[in-house]
A and B are shown apart, each in its own frame.
Chain A
């Protein structure tokens, strides 16, 4: 079989080599005809049209949101949501104008080689993981013995501002540093490992379960307010991680089962800086989202959807509407048994799981529809696998929208906690982000979606030989993406609240 099973049309690299005349050059001229000439024109038009479109919508929303409190929009909420959805639809329509395979391939294979780092890798990894282990030890220790005020606690600040907010941002905006910093990997590398082989059929399901469990713990337990509770959770996570990695070996564990490592690996796919053949390489952001080897199992799709859903969910329950929904469901479920807190936790869990199932089913059904509408023989599963990486751009956009405010407001407190972890100030400084941060969040969500639309477009061109089929195959996915955008923009427009009934 001369071709890889996952692409019908990866002939670009092959074609570049031969320029001799003969039957091939006629073909060659047809496919790459006057590409060079059109490249620049297309690129400029494209970028300018797209920027113009997003800038106006984002700026419009930003202006209406910035001067008033969150709950009073200058335009009706439905119009704001419709505009956001239409931005995605319009950019998909615009993307369908780009039908030049050579141009798409050029954008996605563009790279700028950087310095060779493999000679430096070993010392850097030792330093990074050493640092990671010190921070991990300090976090566990200080959570128990240090101050129990959240904004003064080293444990809480490092966990939420660095690991939850900062590192993922660094990963999708820059490059994935987690393999260098991972403290558990550092610990495991000192121990004897590999007593069992990792069962292949489990794939990334343990990581999916782990991620959902971590988010559930974050919602239900007071890990973001009581440092000692967080210490216990970190300790529990460490025990499971080290035991698992010792049992099946670090490569299998951190590649498949460890939620944090899988999360950073996936976010790293969006990043512009990559390590390739021992070199640091700069690529266009998101240009690796068309890779066929990123998503190879249903569990990978489940993980990507979990990334999107957990951000949507934790956004939703911290709004007034979310709180009101929980309260309404709690009073509805009042059948005289069980304390209200227990029922509330059940409701949080049910909402978390059912929403996730809906998000996953919507995506999977899009794959089925895509196959049915185009009449292709490529299976719905393979279509779903190939389009799933584009969702990572959406997840990155959501993450940036939800966590920039937190990272900025707590960064001075984090600085003080790092400088003097043992005796932090009693009343640490927290910043309150300016109003236009709200508008910025909307822009992040939209930009993430636009990148996803583009990635899906490029993927479709890789997957299908007919360009018409490639365009048609995207429609169901675009509708799902519009749905995700509208939900996310709706949550961003709701006034904030504290989730009820939780400790």
Chain B
């Protein structure tokens, strides 16, 4: 079953397709997250556990990303502070 609005590159092999709507995903964690968000009623216990752990992993990675974003913001802020101090 193909899913509207998606294409799988020829060299790629998808990690899996959603059992409920046929949406293909390149990695298992994206598939697991999709199932949990999109079809919460249909999941069995295993899928649910997988979703919860994928979500915890995602949360950790998001925390790292937030730190990086904060770093970038600080750099940007002080960069501009310096620029204004020198130029204006």
Interface residues of A (CB under 8 A from B): 1-3, 5-6, 8-11, 14-15, 23-24, 26-28, 30-31, 74-76, 79, 82-83, 86, 89-90, 93-94, 96-97, 99, 101, 375-379, 381-382, 464-469, 471
Contact = CB atoms under 8 A, between A and B. Distances in A.
Contact of A1 (B6, B7, B21, B41): B21
Interface of B: 3-8, 14, 20-27, 29-31, 33-34, 36-41, 43, 45, 48, 51-52, 55, 58, 61-62, 65-66, 69, 72-73, 76-77, 80, 83-84, 87-88
A94 B66 CA distance: 9
Contacts of A379: 5-7
Contacts of B43: 23, 27
A469 B30 contact: yes
Contacts of A99: 62, 66
A79 B84 contact: yes
A45 B77 CA distance: 18
Contacts of B3: 5
Nearest to A292: B5
B55 A8 contact: no
A8 B62 contact: no
Given A27-B52, A468-B61, A471-B65, A79 B36 contact: no
B87 A79 contact: yes
B20 A5 contact: no
A23 B48 CA distance: 8
A86 B14 CA distance: 38
A97 B69 contact: yes
A14 B41 CA distance: 9
Contact of A466 (B30, B41, B87): B30
A2 B35 CA distance: 12
B7 A97 contact: no
B38 A86 contact: no
Given A378-B6, A468-B58, A468-B62, A8 B87 contact: no
12 contacts: A6-B5, A8-B23, A9-B37, A24-B41, A28-B40, A31-B40, A79-B88, A96-B69, A375-B26, A377-B8, A465-B37, A468-B58
Given A8-B38, A93-B69, A378-B6, A86 B80 contact: yes
Contact of B4 (A5, A24, A26): A5
Given A74-B88, A75-B87, A89-B76, A15 B40 contact: yes
A1 B5 contact: no
A75 B43 CA distance: 59
Contacts of A101: 37
Given A76-B88, A94-B69, 12 more contacts: A3-B21, A3-B38, A11-B37, A79-B87, A89-B76, A90-B73, A93-B72, A375-B27, A377-B25, A382-B5, A382-B6, A467-B62
Given A90-B73, A378-B6, A26 B48 contact: yes
Contact of A377 (B14, B21, B58): B14
Contacts of B66: 96-97, 99
Contact of B40 (A6, A24, A90): A24
A27 B38 CA distance: 12
A5 B40 contact: no
Contact of B65 (A86, A96, A377, A465): A96
A462 to B, nearest CB: 10
B66 to A, nearest CB: 6
Given A1-B21, A3-B38, A465-B33, A378 B5 contact: yes
